[in-house]
Structure 1
């Protein structure tokens, strides 16, 4: 497994930054051209490869008008084609979910999944309609990145112990030397990202080299529920990443106040420009409406949140050989209308960071990550299996007469879902509710299981339903 590391430039000369920025701008045109020509069914969707694109451009002379070295535009073409392929794969994930919702016939489902995998979906009306819905032609406006092949750069340490990275410029055999703030030389293919007068050098290393990868995982199965005030709550009742809510709330409130002030200054600048006082408008724009400081603060906040979430996941894996969790890569919309402040503080991007951390840490440390359907896990009593009343962070079970902490209760239910034979990962939420209500009715009337077919009986024997067999 590979993980990404970032090295930063230090005190980079303005002339060097301008040269790199011009190269990145020209390579941005290459990316845009690739997306425009090949980001559809007739391009990557038809199985076109980046080498074929390079051969075409060399044959018809397309590469000449970009004004960059051959290796630079070829690597950019390869990177852009990989982005389009990833976009296509992401659309296919959504289509697979749509197939699961559309049909319960195993043969029909297998036929559609096979056609989707083999890129023969254009002949099936349903698949074609779903692909048009989820895979739309994209546009790429990235003009601040340079991809450098592993054999096209070199590193050297000067007499004062500083590490310098030399990368190709716009002219042949003329390198641009970048001073780095680290003593560890980057390896492999590099991605240079230009921001605010500096350069970020992104590269990948083997995860086994990391010290955290050597930590052993636990020996139990643990369910986890994602929260807001803390990153994760596990089925043992422990909370991990308790500073997450404070970080998100503080940054959200600070961002709200900063944007309010910026809006006021922008209004003053616009009024001055309308009056003809362009000097005042220019001074406000240059001195008060810049983005360098804002971007630095946002990057620092993102780093703090990632550290908090990854640390929380490591603590869960310390005691778990199997981590049972919600599929956080799935997009969904809540049915409640929340206030603007709450939506802003919720920071949906942290959901993706948590999903990345769970997958990354579990794979590196040898634990298994199991995704389950979490519909109604926060509204169901884990002791009796009945739907209760959720009020804030508390769940009131009228049958048991107990008030549970909602996140702990949800984590226990998530752990139980891993052994539930009736509720699959993509079972619709309304079907999940019906299953839970049917179980409640059988509890009340003491009726046996209605489906007594041999296949169902055998499946239930292998996967006992914990909710149905719990004590009343």
Structure 2
């Protein structure tokens, strides 16, 4: 398993940054040419490969138009062709959905799926029409990146212990040395991204060699529920990542105030432009409405949030060899239209970070991650399985008369859901609600559990319903 790491330049000379930026600008022209020529049916859609493109450019002299070294433009061609192939694969996902909606005949579906996978969709009118709809010609807007092959750069430490990265420049045998803010040398193919006078060096490392991957996992089975105040709460009642809510709230309040001030300044600049005072409007936009500082603050906030969430997941895996969680990659449409401030505080992007952390950390440390259907786990009591009322971080069971901590109650329900024979991962939420209500009615009337089929009876024998166990 590979994970991406980022190193940053430290106190980079403006002249060096300008030289690297010029090289990135020229390589951006290479990307644009690749997208323009081959980002269509006759290019990657026809099975064209990056090596064929390089051979063509060497034969017709196209490579001489860009003014960069051979390895630089060849790596850029390879990277751009990979981007085009990724956009093609994303379009095929939408086309597969269209095929499923168009016909229910298994043979016809299989025929179209096979033609789509083999890139033979151009001869089928329906597939060609759908591909033109979903795979539109792209345009390159990337003029700030350089891809450097593993054997084309070197690193060295100076007398003060600072690490320097030397990459090829625009002229043969002339390297550009970049000081780094870390003592860990990057490895493999590098992707240099230039932002706001600083160079980001992206590279991949083997996750098994990381120090955190050497830590053993626990031996328990734990259910976890994602929260806002804390990153995760486990079924043992222990919160993890307790600083997450404070981080999100503080950043949300800061963004609200900053955006209010920026909107006021933008209004002043617009009014000045309407009066003909373009010099004042320009000064405000240049000095007060820039994006460099804003982007750096956003990057620091995202890094702090990721650190808090990954630390929380490591704490869970320290005690668990099996983590039971809801599938956070699924999209759910909320029924309520929440105010902007609340939406900003909820920070939906943290759900994706939590899903990534659970998947990566579990895989690296040898813990099993089991996804379950989490429908109504926060609205039912884990002891009696009846519906109750949730208010904030408190869950009140109207049957038991007990008030539980809401996230702990949901985590226990998620743990129980792993052994539920009737509720699968993709069972619709309205069906889940009906199953839970039927169980409540049977418990209330003291009727035996009704088996819908021998197969269900067998599953229930192997995986008894946890709510029934708790009530027995």
- Aligned partners of 2:120 and 2:402: how far apart in 1? 52
- Aligned partners of 1:426 and 1:102: how far apart in 2? 23
Using the TM superposition, name which of 120-129 and 366-375 deviates more: 120-129
Deviations 1:20-65 (A, max 9, x none): 1122223233334444555566655665443344344445554444
Q: TM-score, normalised by structure 2?
A: 0.88
Using the TM superposition, name which of 302-311 and 87-96 deviates more: 87-96
Q: 1:120 to 1:175 in 2, by over 3 A?
A: closer
Q: Which SS does the other structure have where 2:334 is aligned?
A: coil
Q: Which SS does the other structure have where 1:470 is aligned?
A: helix
- Aligned partners of 1:455 and 1:131: how far apart in 2? 42
Using the TM superposition, name which of 340-349 and 415-424 deviates more: 415-424
Q: 1:393 to 1:373 in 2, by over 3 A?
A: same
Q: 1:396 to 1:128 in 2, by over 3 A?
A: farther
Q: Which SS does the other structure have where 1:67 is aligned?
A: coil
Counterpart of 1:238 in structure 2 is 238
Q: Which SS does the other structure have where 1:318 is aligned?
A: helix
Q: 1:34 to 1:356 in 2, by over 3 A?
A: farther
- Aligned partners of 1:112 and 1:436: how far apart in 2? 41
1:351 aligns with 2:351: yes
Deviations 1:139-193 (A, max 9, x none): 4422211110001112233344332211122233322221222222211111111
1:82 aligns with 2:82: yes
Counterpart of 1:329 in structure 2 is 329
Using the TM superposition, name which of 137-146 and 111-120 deviates more: 111-120
Query: 2:103 touches 2:109 (CA, 8 Å); kept in 1?
Result: no
- Aligned partners of 1:22 and 1:126: how far apart in 2? 45
Counterpart of 2:171 in structure 1 is 171
Q: Which SS does the other structure have where 2:471 is aligned?
A: coil
Counterpart of 1:263 in structure 2 is 263
Q: TM-score, normalised by structure 1?
A: 0.88
Counterpart of 1:433 in structure 2 is 433
Using the TM superposition, name which of 130-139 and 401-410 deviates more: 130-139
Counterpart of 1:393 in structure 2 is 393
Query: 2:165 touches 2:178 (CA, 8 Å); kept in 1?
Result: yes
Deviation of 1:365 after TM superposition, in Å, equals 1.2
- Aligned partners of 1:467 and 1:280: how far apart in 2? 69
Counterpart of 1:471 in structure 2 is 471
Q: 1:426 to 1:453 in 2, by over 3 A?
A: closer
Query: 2:96 touches 2:113 (CA, 8 Å); kept in 1?
Result: no
Deviation of 1:129 after TM superposition, in Å, equals 9.6
Q: 1:86 to 1:401 in 2, by over 3 A?
A: farther
Counterpart of 2:206 in structure 1 is 206
Counterpart of 1:304 in structure 2 is 304
Deviations 1:408-462 (A, max 9, x none): 1111111122222222222222222222223223333444444443322222222
Using the TM superposition, name which of 411-420 and 24-33 deviates more: 24-33
Q: 1:365 to 1:109 in 2, by over 3 A?
A: farther
Q: Which SS does the other structure have where 1:156 is aligned?
A: strand
Deviations 1:297-344 (A, max 9, x none): 222211111111111111101101011112222222211111110001
Deviation of 1:278 after TM superposition, in Å, equals 2.8
Using the TM superposition, name which of 408-417 and 165-174 deviates more: 165-174
Deviation of 1:219 after TM superposition, in Å, equals 0.3
- Aligned partners of 1:289 and 1:341: how far apart in 2? 22
Query: 1:91 touches 1:135 (CA, 8 Å); kept in 2?
Result: yes
Using the TM superposition, name which of 342-351 and 457-466 deviates more: 457-466
- Aligned partners of 1:447 and 1:249: how far apart in 2? 48
Q: 1:110 to 1:411 in 2, by over 3 A?
A: farther
Q: Which SS does the other structure have where 1:5 is aligned?
A: strand
- Aligned partners of 2:385 and 2:145: how far apart in 1? 53
Q: 1:361 to 1:88 in 2, by over 3 A?
A: farther
Query: 1:28 touches 1:142 (CA, 8 Å); kept in 2?
Result: yes
Query: 1:46 touches 1:119 (CA, 8 Å); kept in 2?
Result: no
Runs (4 or more) in structure 1 with deviation over 6 Å come to: 91-105, 107-110, 123-136
Query: 2:45 touches 2:119 (CA, 8 Å); kept in 1?
Result: no
Query: 1:92 touches 1:116 (CA, 8 Å); kept in 2?
Result: no
- Structure 1 gap segments, 5+ residues each: none
Q: 1:247 to 1:421 in 2, by over 3 A?
A: same
Deviation of 1:281 after TM superposition, in Å, equals 2.4
Using the TM superposition, name which of 167-176 and 363-372 deviates more: 167-176
- Aligned partners of 1:231 and 1:348: how far apart in 2? 13
- Aligned partners of 2:94 and 2:177: how far apart in 1? 44
- Aligned partners of 2:86 and 2:279: how far apart in 1? 47
Query: 2:145 touches 2:193 (CA, 8 Å); kept in 1?
Result: yes
- Aligned partners of 1:426 and 1:130: how far apart in 2? 28
Aligned-residue RMSD, C-alpha: 3.4
Counterpart of 1:412 in structure 2 is 412
Taking the TM superposition and a 5 Å limit, the aligned residue runs for 1:269-280 are 269-280=269-280
Counterpart of 2:253 in structure 1 is 253
Counterpart of 1:161 in structure 2 is 161
- Aligned partners of 2:127 and 2:384: how far apart in 1? 41
- Aligned partners of 2:103 and 2:12: how far apart in 1? 58
- Aligned partners of 1:324 and 1:53: how far apart in 2? 47
